[in-house]
Amino acid sequence: MVGDKPRTEAYRAAIEASRHLFQDKVVLDIGAGTGILSLFAAQAGARRVYAVEASGFHELARQNAERNGFGDVVRVVHGRIEDVTLPEQADVIVSEWMGFYLLHESMLDSVIVGRDRFLAPDGVMFPDVARLYACPSTLAAFHCDQLQCWSRPYGLDLTAVGEAARRSMQQAPQVLDTHPEELLAAPELMLELHLQYVTPEELAAVTCRRFVTVTRPGPYRGLCLWFECQFPDGSRLDTAPRAPSTHWRQTAVVLPTDYPLEVDTVIGWELTLAREAGGGRKYRIALSMLDEDDEHPVPCGCAVGKCRLIKALIDKEDAECDEG
């Protein structure tokens, strides 16, 4: 984590901006690793930090706490959060639990266990909200580097290799860097998790249906996914294409072929994230393309007349409720 400056700095700045939540409080760091978040919490004035780490890194976390003068504040607990015992409840739980496209190989299940076992009734989760976004993309740079390069190298037709590579890429999502100009529409919110309340049952499978209006012409080659996490002070750790690149980068579900799109075209998809059989931390992605005439969610932000009318009525009703 330390080497990934954007994510480490996001946590450091958010903890510093929320010193009032940490001052003289008990903090639980789940999956502490080498203890960097525990040290940030100690710097913010925590009375006690329990750094729970199951791997061999627990000894490094202990040494780091001692060498930075926080040996009396940071108590390193070697074990799984599911198994350990603590002498008191925590006022704050901090964890860097996110996986690729938020859920894949994440530690969220363990964080939920830690919350249910140790968080005080008025305690705070840090971060407290996580959101997953999706947007159709040209995947231009990825396509050029991984697929187009097989078209005529050395004057030879090797497109069979590119076709085979594309088929292979459809078997698993691709981790890559996407540029903002490769996005063909406004991003759509697919999932929002409030860490204070989310349950493991909600994470077993997530299905979202969305329609968007194309704002930039180009070949539709895949659906791009990324996430953001929000801290109690309102600041965010953002992994969007416009943000500095992180360890997670973005994730793309590659389509079997290119679909040329023009501005104002309405396209839709249904995305399912399902935990693999047997539990665990791995997810499988299923993407289905939808026709404009398929059922739209309500509300829907696309340019289809019915959706625009329904959204306008909902917005009007919300405005009247706010005024009332």
281 and 313 in a single domain? The answer is no
Q: Does a structural domain hold residue 123?
A: no
Asked whether residue 104 is domain-assigned, the answer is: no
Residue 209 one-letter amino acid:
R
Contacts of residue 75, defined as CB under 8 A and 6 or more positions apart, other chains included, come to 48, 49, 50, 51
Could you list the residue range(s) of the whole structural domain that residue 314 is in? 298-324
pLDDT value at position 159? 80
Please count the structural domains in the chain: 3
Tell me: do 196 and 266 sit in the same domain: yes
Question: What tokens were used for 208?
Answer: 């979202």
Do the beta carbons of residue 269 and residue 289 sit within 8 Å? yes
**Domain identity same for 271 and 319:** no
109 part of a folded domain: no
In order of 224, 315, 317, the CA distances from 322 in angstroms are 35, 11, 9
**pLDDT of the residue at 1:** 65
The interaxial angle of helices 36-43 and 5-17, nearest 10 deg, is: 30
Residue 324 confidence (pLDDT): 66
Each residue's pLDDT, cut to its tens digit, for the chain (324 residues) gives 677 899 999 999 999 999 999 999 999 999 999 999 999 999 999 999 999 999 999 999 999 999 999 999 999 999 999 999 999 999 999 999 999 999 999 999 999 999 999 999 999 999 999 999 999 999 999 887 777 777 777 888 888 887 787 888 888 899 999 999 999 999 999 999 999 999 999 999 999 999 999 999 999 999 999 999 999 999 999 999 999 999 999 999 999 999 999 999 999 999 999 999 877 899 999 999 999 899 999 989 898 988 988 888 888 788 878 776
Contact between residue 276 and residue 172 where contact means Cβ atoms under 8 Å apart: no
First-to-last CA distance in the chain?
47
DSSP string, 95-132: ----BBTBTBT--HHHHHHHHHHHEEEEEEEES-EEEE
Would residue 105 count as lying in a domain? no
Last residue of a domain, one of 96, 116, 142: 96
Q: Please state, in angstroms and as integers, the Cα–Cα distance from residue 243 to each residue in 10, 186, 228, 233, 238, following that order.
A: 12, 16, 10, 19, 6
Does residue 253 sit in the same domain as residue 324?
A: no
Looking at the structure, tell me whether residues 89 and 145 fall in a common domain. Answer: no
CA atoms within 13 A on the CB side of 94: 31
Same domain, 199 and 258: yes
Cite the DSSP H helix spans in the chain. 5-17, 19-22, 36-43, 57-67, 108-118, 140-146, 159-169, 305-323
* Structural tokens at position 218: 């180009």
Residue 162 maps to which CATH number? 2.70.160.11
CA distance 118 to 70: 22
The pLDDT score that the predictor gives to residue 200 is 92
For the record, the structure tokens of 110 come out as: 């363990």
> What residues have CB less than 8 Å from 100, skipping those under 6 apart?
173, 175, 248, 251
Please indicate, yes or no, whether residues 163 and 239 belong to a single structural domain of this protein: yes
Angle among Cα 29, 32, 37 to the nearest 5 degrees reads 70
DSSP 201: G
| Same domain, residue pair 273 and 254 | yes
Residue 208 lies in a domain: yes
User: Is the residue at 107 inside a domain?
Assistant: no
Whether residues 242 and 213 share a domain: the answer is yes
Residue 147 lies in a domain: yes
Last residue of a domain, one of 72, 96, 120: 96
Q: Are residues 40 and 182 in the same domain?
A: no
Q: Which one, of 260, 252, 178, lies nearest residue 219 by Cα?
A: 260
62 with 205, same domain?
Answer: no
Whether 125 is covered by a domain: the verdict is no
User: Any idea what the CATH number is for the domain that residue 64 is in?
Assistant: 3.40.50.150
Catalytic residue set: 96, 105
Residues 232 and 210 in one domain: yes
pLDDT value, residue 85: 97
